Amino acid sequence: MACGCSEHEESSGTHCLVYTIGTEDAFYRMIEATLPPEPGPYGNPTVSRDGSLHFPGDHPDILGYDRTGHGSFRPSWPNCQWRVLSVDYPDGCLMIQGQCHHVLSDHHLAEVTPACCENCQLRSPIPSRQ
């Protein structure tokens, strides 16, 4: 899935799996740690303790994040210990995809959206975030 920054779907940046374990602050610091050394066309975001992203430029929409202003986004993923986020930077544009890792789920190892997670009967909150 391309992020809309360009017509290219190849990644020219880092591709990491970020597991949703531990405190929320630690989780979002892991996203921050995946930022490429060279800023993309929208610059690298600053990551707030609550996971909000703030770009110096107006970045296209990001799956799992609600736009809160010019270049600013707030995470909207429901709390679940079975979801893994794939963080990628095709052409310097941040792209995040969710993947379900619950073995009993119909979506096991498939790409999921925040709405899919919200409606999942198997969703299990991370104990440290309750």
Give the whole-angstrom CA distance, residue 130 versus residue 119.
Answer: 18
Q: Which DSSP string corresponds to 60-99?
A: PP-TTEEEEETTEEEE-PPP-TTEEEEEE-GGG--EEEEE
Tell me the average pLDDT across 68-80: 91
**Tell me, what's the pLDDT at 15?**
62
Quick one: tokens of 112? 């999921």
Residue with tokens 């975001």: 45
* pTM of structure: 0.78
**How sure is the predictor about 13, in pLDDT bands with cuts at 50, 70 and 90?**
low
**Tell me, what's the pLDDT at 34?**
83
The domain limits of the chain are 16-129
85-125: per-residue pLDDT in tens? 888 888 888 888 889 999 999 999 999 999 999 999 999 88
Give me the residues paired with residue 85 across strands.
18, 98
